Amino acid sequence: MNNKLKVLRAMRNWSQAELADRLDVSRQAVNAIETGKYDPSLPLAFKLARLFDMPIEEIFDDGSEGNGNV
């Protein structure tokens, strides 16, 4: 799943470690999400959405937009 986490983090000038602290997860978790190796759980996705004050679907893109999937 694609995501804009790295861009959003860079816009705030946060390191991976700083973002990890704000989310209360490890730096490895932030790195794995940014590089697409790990899709976060729903609670963590909501945490990210609240932190960046954006809807989840604006941060994550599952590539299904426009194909009729609900």
Partner 1 sequence: MSDTGKMSKTRRPMSPRRKRYWTALGIAAVLGGILGAWLQVDQPGNSTAGLALITNGPLTANFAIGASILWLVGMLVSMAIYHRSIDDHEERAWLWAGTAGWYVVMFAAPVWWVLHRASLAPPADAMLLFVASLIVNGVVWLWLKYR
Q: Which residues bind partner 1 (CB under 8 A)?
A: 15-18, 21, 24-29, 31-33, 35, 37-38, 40-41, 43-44
List, in order, residues 6 or more apart from 40 with CB less than 8 Å away: 29, 33, 48
Q: Give me the least distance between CB of 9 and partner 1, in Å please.
A: 9
**Maximum C-alpha span of the chain:** 38
**Residue number, 37 or 66, with CB nearest to partner 1:** 37
Q: Give me the least distance between CB of 44 and partner 1, in Å please.
A: 5
Of 26, 28, 10, 22, the residue nearest 51 (C-alpha): 22
Q: Give me the least distance between CB of 6 and partner 1, in Å please.
A: 9
